[in-house]
Amino acid sequence: MPAINTYSKKCNTNILVALLKHHNIRRVIASPGSTNISFVRAVQNDPFFKVYSSVDERSAAYMACGMAAQSGEPVVLSCTGATASRNYMSGLTEAFYRKLPILAVTSSQHLGHIGHMYPQMLDRTTEPNDICKYSVQCPLVQSDEDLWACETSINQALIYLQDTNPGPVHINLVTDEFSEDNANAVRPKIQFIDYVKAGDNLPSLKQKRIAIFVGSHLAWPDSLVSSVEEFCKKYNAVVLGDHTSNYPGKYWIDSSLVLQQAHYRTDLAKVDVMIHIGEISGAYISLDAEEVWRVSPDGAVRDPFKKLRYIFDMEEEFFFHAYDSLKSTAGTDESYYNAWKEETVSVHSLIPELPFSNAWCAQHTVDKLPKRSILHLGILNSLRCWNYFPIDSTIRCYCNTGGFGIDGCMSSLIGASLVEPNKLFFGVVGDLACFYDLNSLGNRYVGPNIRIMVINNGIGAEFKNYSHIAAKFGDSANPFIAAAGHYGNQSRTLLKHFTEDLGFTYLSAENKEEFIENIDLFTDKNVANKPIIFEVFTDYHEESDALKAIQSIMVDRKSRVKEIAKKVIGQKGIDFVKKVL
C-alpha cells in the first residue's frame, strides 16, 4: 500500500499542523463533520498526533479539560460548522476559569458567507470574553500576505495557549470545500515563532551579523544605554532606527538616508539577526534580515518585518544584560560599525543642493537646534525629511506614530512643553496638520518655550511626491485626494493674524534667503517671552523634486540596467519579460 500523504492541499491547515508539531502539541479530540475533514485527515495520518473521537462536541470539550488537567499538556479540539462550536462553550468556560490550555479549532466556510443564509454557516468572529483568552480567524491563503498573516496568527495563538497565564484559545480555520484528495499535497515551508522568557535558554548569536532596530522609544535610562553599549562592543553590532528611537549611545547609525535610496541597496543592510525593540516606527526603513528577534515585556507577537523568529518576553535591559553575561570580555572587532559609519558619511557628503522645501529646511536647521531641547515632528513628510539629517544626541525626538494621524501634532507638543517650562520644545508640521490642530494654539497654557515651524505648501504634499501612487493622477488629484486650497490657500496673513493676536511672535519665509534671516531667532537657545511660529511657504513641486533628489544620490548597477531597459522597452515590456522568466 502506498504511503499516505499527511499534508493537506489547504495551506492554512498545513501551517496549523506544522506549528502544532513544532510546539509539541499532540493530543487531538475530533468531532465528525465536513469542513474539518482537511485538518482531521492530516492529523489522523500523522503518527506524531494522538487522536481521539467524540461525536458530542460538549462532551469533547469537557474531555479536553480532564485530559489537559491530568496530563499538563495542551489539548486540541476540532469541529465543523453549524452549531458544533456552540457546544464547546460550557467546556471552554470551565477551561477559562481553570486556566487549562485547550485549543478549539473550529472549521468554517468562507467568512464572506456570514449573514447570507448559507446552510451551516454561523458567525464566529466575536467570542464571549470568558470562553477563550485569544481568538483568531485564519482565512484561505491566496497570497504571500495571506501566508504571513496566517503563520503569524497561528504562532501567536499557540504562544498564548502556553504562556505564563495559560487558558483556552480559539482558531477559526476556513476551508473552501468539503472533501479533498491529498495525493499531490506537499509540506510548505513554515515560519516558526518561539517564545522566550526570563530564565529560559537563550538562542545563540555566535557568528551572526547583528543590528538592533529601535522603533519609537521613550527617553533611555542610563543603565539601558550602558547594557546596549556593552552588547554592541561584544557582538560587533550597531543600532539603527530614526530620530524617534532616541538612542544616545556611540553605536547609533543615522541610516535613514542610506536605507531610503530608491535605486541603491547597501550590503550592510543584510543581517543574520535583527533585534527589534521599541514601538511603531515611522522611518519606513528595513533590513534584509534572516531573522527578527522581538524584545518587549508585553510578550506579544509583533511582526512588521515578516521575519519574526523569537519573542523575548522581558525588559529590554534584562535581554541585553543576559547576552552581555554570556561573553566575559568585549571583542575588539568593530568592523560592522565602522563600515556603517563610513557609508553614512560618504552618502551624506553627496547630498546635492536641494530646492526650497521641508528637506532643505531640515538640512539648515538641525545643526542649530540647542542641545537638550525637544523636537516634535509631524507624521510622514516632516518626519521623513528631518530623519535624513543627523541631530545632536542630547535632543529627544517624538512623533505621533502610535495612531499615525495628523490631528494632534501641536497638541502633543504643547502637552509635553508644560512638563518642563524651562526647556525649549520645537515642532515641525505641514499646513494641513497645523490647521487641523489650530485650536490648540489658543490654549491658555501655551508657554514661551514653544517654537513651531509650519511648512505651508497649500496641499497634502505627501500625495504629490513623485513616488506616491496619487502622483500619476497629476492635477486631478489636487482637489480631493490631496485636499488643495483649504485654510486660505497659502494666505500670507491668516496664520500671522491668528497667532499674533494670541501673543505669538510670527516669522515667515518664502525663499532660502528669508529662511536664513529668521532661523537664528527661531533656534535661539534662550527661552524668550513669547512662543514663536515660523511659517515657511514652499511649492509642492519643489517638495517632490527635493525628495527625488535626496532619494537618488546612489544608484547601483541593477537599478541602472532597469532604468535603461524601461526607457528602451517600457514598463509593459519589463513586466512581460518578468512573466517569461
Which secondary-structure segment (H or E) carries 270? strand 270-277
Mean pLDDT of the region 300-328: 94
Return the higher-pLDDT residue of 542 and 174.
542
CB 360 within 8 A of CB 388: no
Predicted confidence band at 507 (pLDDT cuts at 50, 70, 90)? very high
Edge-to-edge strand ranges of the sheet holding 425-430:
396-399, 374-377, 425-430, 450-456, 532-537, 505-509
The pTM of this model reads: 0.88
Mean pLDDT of the region 508-533: 97
Please determine, for residue 122, whether its predicted confidence score (pLDDT) is greater than 80.
no
d(CA 425, CA 397): 10
Mean pLDDT of the region 518-524: 97
Please determine, for residue 404, whether its predicted confidence score (pLDDT) is greater than 50.
yes
For the chain, give every domain's residue range: 11-190, 210-348, 358-550, 556-581
Cα dihedral 428, 433, 436, 437, rounded to 10, equals: -30
d(CA 5, CA 322): 44
Return the higher-pLDDT residue of 156 and 126.
156
* pLDDT tens, position by position, 422-434: 999 999 999 999 9
* pLDDT tens, position by position, 145-186: 889 999 999 999 999 998 888 999 999 998 875 545 443 444
Q: Among 169-178, 235-244, 391-400, 407-416, which stretch is predicted with the lowest mean pLDDT?
A: 169-178
d(CA 211, CA 316): 15
Please determine, for residue 104, whether its predicted confidence score (pLDDT) is greater than 60.
yes
Please determine, for residue 1, whether its predicted confidence score (pLDDT) is greater than 90.
no
Q: Is 362 helix (H, G, I), strand (E, B) or coil?
A: helix
Of 431, 415, 406, give the one whose Cα is nearest residue 508: 431
Return the higher-pLDDT residue of 311 and 144.
311
Q: Provide the mean pLDDT of the chain.
A: 90
Q: Which three cell numbers stand for residue 234?
A: 561584544
Would 210-348 and 358-550 be classified into the same CATH topology? yes
Of 261, 251, 238, give the one whose Cα is nearest residue 350: 261
Predicted confidence band at 2 (pLDDT cuts at 50, 70, 90)? very low
**pLDDT value of position 576:** 56
SS (H, E, C) 386-448: HHCCCCCCCCEEEECCCCCCCCCHHHHHHHHHHHCCCCCEEEEEEHHHHHHCHHHHHCCCCCC
Mean pLDDT of the region 558-564: 56
Q: Quote the Cα angle for 177-183-187, to 5°.
A: 85
**pLDDT value of position 183:** 39
Q: What is the DSSP string of 105-153?
A: EEEES-GGGTTTT-TT----SS--TTT-SEEEEE----SHHHHHHHHHH
**pLDDT value of position 393:** 96
Q: Among 378-387, 420-429, 442-451, 560-569, which stretch is predicted with the lowest mean pLDDT?
A: 560-569
**pLDDT value of position 29:** 97
**pLDDT value of position 285:** 85
What is the pairing mode between strands 270-277 and 50-53? unpaired
Please determine, for residue 579, whether its predicted confidence score (pLDDT) is greater than 60.
no
End-to-end alpha carbon distance in the chain: 40
Please determine, for residue 27, whether its predicted confidence score (pLDDT) is greater than 50.
yes
CATH architecture of 11-190: 3-Layer(aba) Sandwich (3.40)
Q: Which long-range contacts (CB under 8 A, 24 or more apart) does 49-57 make?
A: 49/20, 50/26, 52/27, 52/28, 53/29, 54/29, 54/30, 55/31, 56/31, 56/87, 57/31, 57/84, 57/85, 57/87, 57/88
To the nearest 10 degrees (0 to 180), the angle between helices 11-22 and 144-161 is 30
Please determine, for residue 13, whether its predicted confidence score (pLDDT) is greater than 60.
yes
CB 17 within 8 A of CB 43: yes
* pLDDT tens, position by position, 279-301: 999 888 879 999 999 999 999 99
CB 276 within 8 A of CB 213: yes
Indicate the residue type of 77.
L
Mean pLDDT of the region 356-369: 98
CATH 3.30.930.10 corresponds to the domain 358-550: no
Predicted confidence band at 333 (pLDDT cuts at 50, 70, 90)? confident
**Class at the top of the CATH hierarchy for domain 210-348:** alpha beta
Please determine, for residue 575, whether its predicted confidence score (pLDDT) is greater than 70.
no
